[in-house]
Structure 1
């Protein structure tokens, strides 16, 4: 649950920061293909980077470096365990439940769009023009989806400038703009709760038209092409996945067709995108380990051949295991740890680091505090460790041995 929330939070950060960079640095450029590439990479970054999990530099053990073994941090809140469990259910589970309901609804809308396109193609009159399939139907407006070109009924026989319309839509297909729309739908499904995806959608839609207009004006007179756009303007969009003529873009497109092109030197600004992507990768994909206290034990010492009487190991072939595994250990700590009232009154919180030995019989011996926060918190942590049930002892070369471990216990006020 926490991993999902972290993924969505980090993905939202990526979408926001990259959108700000695009608006500030790139949007006014006339390098349409470069802008399109940046936006597509931004969408992929938001989907992929938060899902990656690389250990930070501190998590890498270099040759001959000290090796450290630490049990997972256990966190105790100031309220009792039953209140915590209920809160986790009522808030975290509710949030995740609402999220997946939204995912199902948006995904259903996306799939219905695909089904609608398939149904429309079966009802339409079809004509092939090279690799493109021209589809005519009374309900269609000029639009395209991959190699499908949608046209009003009778367009091929009577509509004026139909060759220009077909050329416009086939250019969308040549640029593979429909793949962009599919990627946008995936982002919309995952981040449906964060409306910034609609800004990417509008920006890419405009860039698609800029690319097509740029190519069309190289083959057709600018004034006649602009007049065609005005004549074919529609006031509504015909679908989520198709490209069609729509009114809100016309003014921008006409302005962009007539304004001077950006200078080639302006492309240098795109070099700044690389460090932005690298910083985001480091921010959301590289995990910084929690506080680590090193235990003085080298790899060569761990592989010692001769076992000495009462020797204490930090690393062994088979590490000690608490009763019923880590889940049982967490349950034991949850049921037995109490937040001292004196620490609550003083609003003291923090992490107590303990060190103890699991001996050859599996008993915990010699527990001690190696990093103190407060005497009462230290005493409570020591009390619970001293009363711990026996563990399964560690094994080295077939013999039960003494193993030293450390445990962080985080006391946190709500």
Structure 2
């Protein structure tokens, strides 16, 4: 299948190149250029998919590495209820058959492969037969004209040439006509056109299924004839030459690699005889080949390799941070994900501007590998600016277990510059399998199920690929039993591979992440953490947690989705407190909510909401908590009742008011944050203005000014002991001074 995939990529390249020729080049009279274009793009079409170029991109990931499990003596499945001691050597699943009989069957991929090679063999035999027929007649040379060897032949293929052999039907032609034909065929011989046709016919053997191959062959033959016609017509003139073509225009059954004087479409040849020469400026059209090659190279030859860097959380604890004097290394105290356990974040900033990060527990060990020498973190902090400038721009980050270098231990985090440390045998194989299978779709037969060392927990299955290679497909233990219900020995499995590595214990490649399918049904998608059972019904997780980077810190994201309701999301900045859940008035912690079973979730009301704990008056909630509630909203606090009343009264309303004075957010009265107003109805309020806009507002307002204020949001602030308008549009004498809803400010 890999060979067929390669040929399909070749066909795609040919398609783009031929489209460029057909649209922009075929009508040009630069026949030699067109010949070179067709031949070179045909060769390039075979070369581009064969190239293997890698482009590395670093990406931060949080990746679960499945536990490696040793291969059992026999790859088999132990039915529930049978102890390991009682288990026979091989356990056949229901409806299973022996592996020997299974391998006697043919998969559709094998049938397709066999069909391809059978037809290719037929094409090759036909090619050899036609060559043999041609060589048989070559031996009957009648005379030589210059370097041409002429064979008089009244029947079969006549008035054509192969290499410097010309086959002529002298019975129906005059001497002057034969002279023109010889001149025409001499051009084919001198320019080695026959070699072009041999090459194209070899391509037909392998690309017999691709119509573009035949279009290429036709276009190349047409260019050959244009070249020969151009020179031969100079002897007797274009008109006489065109009449000669029409006179002997009788189609013969000629082999595909000879040049027939009248085989190519005469109309196009005669039209080209009388076509004016193309202007030299039109040669710029051949430059279209450059972006076409680049695009096809990026599509088929370049593989983006994502260098996985552990995702770390840059939360500073009490501002603790150490920085080397050169700024090369920064060490911060951090948290990982949603954990409350302290950790260390190490940032390396090389002079070329590339930044690398790694992190781990407080006892993390970080080392540097530069020019075959290992340095500790403390030694690296002392690197001089001169030494840092000498560091290579080629750099990377890896784990000590990947490298076979004295001074590097398995748990070390390694920053390297220049040459990457020598890889272990296992890492070499891991990268080989990663480049071979990552992003690919593979097919194979299921040969057995994989268990952990004590054979108590299933964690995947083994397949034998069509190329004979054996691979383990990892399945999370919590999903393995459900997956096994859909499988039996001998099943054809399709796997879209996302991540693959090498298992030392199993001595084979192991797929860590991918989409596994049987027939048209997905049975397991590790990339989406989805298992497909017989009913194909699997509920979306109730709680999903993730992190995202915002500016220089990390935010914690909690997504909650009940079966009946909509998704609710809360993003908490540097606060590591986890959300609380209230179901029909009862409070549950985050950990308790994670254990809700499906039956409980199915009963949750579609009436739901969320908000900070300060909104509610309920035992079990504390300040700083975020609350997701279902069913009846928790009892509101007095302040929240007042706020909702104020919001209902003022939201969307427009008031006429008078400025009573300025408001300052600090006791020193240095930072203005708004002003006080009194409405025409006698209500006193504060209008909040962001500090960065306060100076402009201060310059345009004075006490006693009459304003029109359109309110978008208002609430009660206990600290101010008054209603505060948060979002509003402020107008004075019909001119907008400030519109926080857009937001804009008129500095008038």
TM-score, structure 1 as length reference:
0.69
* Aligned counterparts of 1:355 and 1:8: Cα–Cα separation in 2: 27
Q: Give the number of the structure with larger relative contact order, counting CA–CA contacts within 8 Å between residues 6 or more apart.
A: 1
* Aligned counterparts of 2:177 and 2:496: Cα–Cα separation in 1: 74
* Aligned counterparts of 1:3 and 1:33: Cα–Cα separation in 2: 36
- 1:42 aligns to what? 41
- Which stretch of the first structure deviates more once superposed, 21-30 or 238-247? 238-247
Structure 1 residue 241: deviation in Å?
1.0
* Aligned counterparts of 1:321 and 1:221: Cα–Cα separation in 2: 69
* Aligned counterparts of 1:263 and 1:174: Cα–Cα separation in 2: 26
- 1:391 aligns to what? none
- Residue 184 (str. 1) matches residue 182 (str. 2): no
CA RMSD of aligned residues (A): 4.3
- 1:13 aligns to what? 12
Report 1:119-130 matches (<5 A).
Answer: 119-122=136-139, 124-130=140-146
Q: 1:252 to 1:292 in 2, by over 3 A?
A: same
Report 1:264-275 matches (<5 A).
Answer: 264-275=280-291
- Cα deviation code 1:76-100 (max 9, x no counterpart): xxxx9x8998799421111110000
* Aligned counterparts of 1:42 and 1:355: Cα–Cα separation in 2: 37
Q: 1:125 to 1:304 in 2, by over 3 A?
A: closer
- 2:461 aligns to what? 334
- 1:193 aligns to what? 209
Please point out which of 109, 113, 118 is paired with 1:96.
113
Structure 1 residue 373: deviation in Å?
4.0
- 1:56 aligns to what? 54
Structure 1 residue 248: deviation in Å?
5.4
Between Structure 1 and Structure 2, the one with more helix by share is 1
- For the 8 Å contact 1:56–1:288, the answer to whether it is kept is yes
Report 1:84-163 matches (<5 A).
Answer: 89-122=106-139, 124-139=140-155, 140-152=157-169, 159-163=175-179
- For the 8 Å contact 1:39–1:200, the answer to whether it is kept is yes
Unaligned runs of 5+ in 2: 59-64, 67-93, 311-357, 359-366, 375-399, 414-421, 434-443, 451-459, 463-471, 487-494, 507-511, 514-525, 533-748
- For the 8 Å contact 2:24–2:285, the answer to whether it is kept is yes
Q: 1:242 to 1:316 in 2, by over 3 A?
A: closer
Report 1:6-405 matches (<5 A).
Answer: 6-52=5-51, 54-58=52-56, 89-122=106-139, 124-139=140-155, 140-152=157-169, 159-246=175-262, 249-289=265-305, 292-294=307-309, 299=369, 300=374, 302=403, 305-306=406-407, 312=411, 317-319=424-426, 332=450, 333-335=460-462, 337=475, 341=482, 373-374=528-529
* Aligned counterparts of 2:428 and 2:48: Cα–Cα separation in 1: 34
Structure 1 residue 224: deviation in Å?
1.4
- For the 8 Å contact 2:162–2:257, the answer to whether it is kept is yes
* Aligned counterparts of 1:216 and 1:166: Cα–Cα separation in 2: 9
- 2:739 aligns to what? none
Which one has a bigger Cα radius of gyration? 2
**Aligned residue-pair number:** 338
- For the 8 Å contact 1:30–1:261, the answer to whether it is kept is yes
Between Structure 1 and Structure 2, the one with more strand by share is 2
* Aligned counterparts of 2:217 and 2:169: Cα–Cα separation in 1: 26
TM-score, structure 2 as length reference:
0.40
Unaligned runs of 5+ in 1: 61-69, 72-79, 364-368, 378-414
* Aligned counterparts of 1:167 and 1:357: Cα–Cα separation in 2: 69
- Cα deviation code 1:388-412 (max 9, x no counterpart): xxxxxxxxxxxxxxxxxxxxxxxxx
Structure 1 residue 232: deviation in Å?
1.7
